[in-house]
Amino acid sequence: MKDVQTLSLEFQPLVAQGFTLAECPRWDWRHQTWCWVDIAEGEIWRLTNGQAQARRWDDMLGCFALWKEDGFVLATKTGVYALENWDAERQLIAPLQKTHPRMRFNDGRCAPGGRLIAGTRNGAKEGDQGQFYQLQQGGQLEAMPMFAWTCNGLAFSPCGNVLYWADTGSSLIYRADYNPQTGEYGESTVFCDLTAFNGRPDGASVDSEGGYWVAMYSGQSVVRIDPTGTVSHVIPVPLENPTMVALGGENGNQLVVTSAAGSDKPGEVITATIAWQAVNEPLITTL
């Protein structure tokens, strides 16, 4: 850890209001706007002309991906849904088959090649563990052999040939080879062990140099890991429970971090400028 740099950034609120469990920040390059979710409230949010707007369902919303010119694909407690545009009614693509009532979709995104990959979470911490699923052509959810009580940290290398994911409970980050054309993947191996750092790895993103940025829940920090699996930077954040990190913005150098409610204040969405560049999110193409 002696070569790890502490990087201090000037953070400010992206929006003024608070949230229960803000997650999945994502730069929507189609409309040049930031979006995110509040998992506990079943909400997807977007920031348009300085105004934050929300769509809400009575269904915990773990993550989303971009689809077509205006749509989204949503992964929730009950399944995967298509939202044709912001004002549309959602349409069920695939239900989440589960053996425990507290199982729900948690972290996920569109993989290079256009497939949704999303992991689940079993909040009871008993019975089945969560695992990742890949949405194939025709709306079939393919179970992937990547298991954790809380599946997190899904991200891809800039070339699309490496898949990363985090087991929050063990503080381990894994990597696996990935084929964007076919959706095939290799065996997961440990990429980085974060047990020596404060907090636990939650949601993540990758920059154009291949650096893996991950929010450290209850650790008041974000960690950047270089492509060799070595932690290069620790970024303190003014959040008790950071949940996910994203890179984007008009110039590609905006960092956004979300958080869950803490002991004395609600969850927040904050932002800062960084020296790295974002990689644009791909669009879902398998629907």
Kindly list the catalytic residues. Answer: 202
Pairwise CA distance, residues 251 & 259, whole Å:
24
Residue 15: phi and psi, rounded to 5, are -135, 160
Residues marked as binding for a divalent metal cation? Answer: 23, 152, 202
Pairwise CA distance, residues 215 & 235, whole Å:
9
Residue linked to tokens 């070339």: 159
Q: How many angstroms separate the most distant Cα atoms in the chain?
A: 52
Edge-to-edge strand ranges of the sheet holding 189-193:
151-156, 162-167, 172-177, 189-193
**Whole-angstrom Cα Rg for the chain:** 17
Residue 41: phi and psi, rounded to 5, are -95, -5
Pairwise CA distance, residues 209 & 284, whole Å:
23
Name the E strands within 49-122: 51-56, 61-67, 71-76, 79-83, 91-95, 103-110, 116-122
Residue linked to tokens 């709306």: 139
Pairwise CA distance, residues 12 & 272, whole Å:
7
Q: Residue 1: how many CB atoms within 10 A of its CB?
A: 8
Residue 226: phi and psi, rounded to 5, are -80, 170
Residues marked as binding? Answer: 23, 104, 106, 152, 202
